[in-house]
Chains A and B, each alone.
Chain A
Amino acid sequence: DGGITQSPKYLFRKEGQNVTLSCEQNLNHDAMYWYRQDPGQGLRLIYYSQIVNDFQKGDIAEGYSVSREKKESFPLTVTSAQKNPTAFYLCASSPGTSGRNTGELFFGEGSRLTVL
């Protein structure tokens, strides 16, 4: 079954700790994305990657870091520099890196991070 797997589903973190959210896809998609969703708000782009070993900052990259060492994997690290990290984090992929099908996103189930 093709899809995107995010883990963990729920995560609690103390202030000052870094945490890494996993995202793995077996759809053979080139492009991968990380979004953050806060209650009552739309999705905001954190980072995206269109090819292995390359990634770009999105609109709210401060306090986050990513890597793309393999096509299938795009982990997100929420660092202690992120001032308000409590949110729902969504990983997505798309089949294309340009043109129309970059907007056809497939999402994982999400990771809900709570800072205590």
Chain B
Amino acid sequence: QKEVEQNSGPLSVPEGAIASLNCTYSDRVSQSFFWYRQYSGKSPELIMSIYSNGDKEDGRFTAQLNKASQYVSLLIRDSQPSDSATYLCAVQSWGYNKLIFGAGTRLAVHP
């Protein structure tokens, strides 16, 4: 059974701080990794994808992937109250055309 694990939170950070969200996965042949943001009562939206080891930056967001440790993270710099949401980690394995989602980490950014 492929699994994706996230700390449910809430992760509470002050405005302007760096929020660090973590995700581990069990399937060693996982190839593609995604972060989705979901506001309360809304549908998820894709914010980052990462496929190779290392860092990938997009604006205030940085995704980090370490396949040896089976670990992917999302850093949000200069956190804003509008970043308060649940962040879902999703993993796709080679030749397996489906995503496995984690349960999500709830982030709360307070002024």
Contact = CB atoms under 8 A, between A and B. Distances in A.
B51 A42 contact: no
Given A100-B49, A104-B49, A41 B99 contact: no
Contacts, number: 56
B63 interface: no
Interface string A33-56: 000000011111100101000000
Range of interface residues on A (Cβ < 8 Å) = 20 to 34
Contact of B51 (A45, A90, A100, A105): A100
Interface string B38-56: 0000111110010100000
B105 to A, nearest CB: 11
Interface of B: 4, 8, 31-32, 34, 36, 42-46, 49, 51, 88, 90, 92, 97-99, 101-104
Interface of A: 31, 40-45, 48, 50, 58, 90, 97-98, 100, 102-110
